[in-house]
Amino acid sequence: MRQTNLLIVNLVAMALAFWPGWQPTLAQKQAVHAITARDQAEVQEGINAADNAKKNALKSGRSSFSYEKHRFSLVVPEGLNLQVLDHRGTRSFNFLGKERGDKSRLVLGILIMLPDSNGALPTASDMTEGMLHPYKQRWTDYQQKPTKLVIAGGKEVAAVEYSGAYGGQVKARGIVAVHAVKGALFIITGTDREEYFADSMKVIRKLVASLEISSRS
C-alpha cells in the first residue's frame, strides 16, 4: 500500500464503512475489537476507489462544491488537487496537497453524508466516534484529545485530534469534526504524517475558517 493511500483511507473506506447498519452496531463499532474480514474488505474497497479516482488541479480562490441540495464553498490556495468520491450515500471532496518525496501529502476531506433509506442520520458525536474507530483498531500508540475547528462566521465545531502509527511504522496525526445541518452531516477530516502535521494544521485551519455551508430547500 502506498504512503498516500494510508492517508486517503482516512477519508474513504475507514469512515464510510460505518454507515450501513449503523444503528444496531454502533456500540460494537465503538469498542476496540479484532479486525474482521468485512472490515478488511470495506477498507480495501475504499483504497481501490481512491486509487481509481481522478485528481484534478484546482484554481486558487473561492470555489463551490455540492452534493444534491447541500453545498459548501471555501477559499482554495494554489497547489491543491481535488479528488471526488461517491460511496454509500456520501460524497467525499478530498483536497490533496503536493506529494512529497516520501510519497506523503496533506489531505483535507470534506464529506457530505445524507440520511439512509429510513431518513436516519447518526448524531454528530456518534459519527465522530465512528470515524475514529478504525484508527483505534489499526494504529499502535493511539491517542486522542478534544479540540475545535472554526468555520466561516466564527462558528466553533467540536473536533478530535488523534495520533498513532499505522502498522507500527508510519506515524501520523489527524483531526475529525462533524457539523450537523438539516438533512445532512458535513464531516471534516485532515491527516498528514507526524513530522508535517503542525504545518499542515495551519493550512487546514485556514481552509476551514473560509468554509461556508448552505442547503437548497
Q: How far apart are CA 11 and CA 194, in angstroms?
A: 17
Number of domain units in the chain: 1
Question: Is the distance from CB of 122 to CB of 26 less than 8 angstroms?
Answer: yes
Mean pLDDT value of segment 161-183:
91
Task: Please answer whether residues 138 and 35 qualify as being in contact, where contact means their C-beta atoms are separated by less than 8 angstroms.
Answer: yes
Question: Which residue range forms the structural domain that includes residue 67?
Answer: 3-215
Angle (deg, nearest 10), helices 22-30 and 124-138:
50
Confidence (pLDDT) at 39: 61
Taking only the tens place, the pLDDT of each residue in 112-131 is 999 988 888 999 998 998 88
- Quickly state the pLDDT bin for 12 (edges 50, 70, 90): very low
Q: The CATH number of the domain where 54 resides is what?
A: 3.40.1000.10
3-state secondary structure 157-176: EEEEEEEEEECCCEEEEEEE
pTM: 0.84
Q: Would the pLDDT of 159 be above 50?
A: yes
Between CA 22 and CA 19 the distance in angstroms is 5
Q: Which residues is 120 bridged to in the sheet?
A: none
Query: Average pLDDT for residues 10-25, to the nearest whole number?
Result: 44
Return the residue matching grid coordinates 475545535. 148
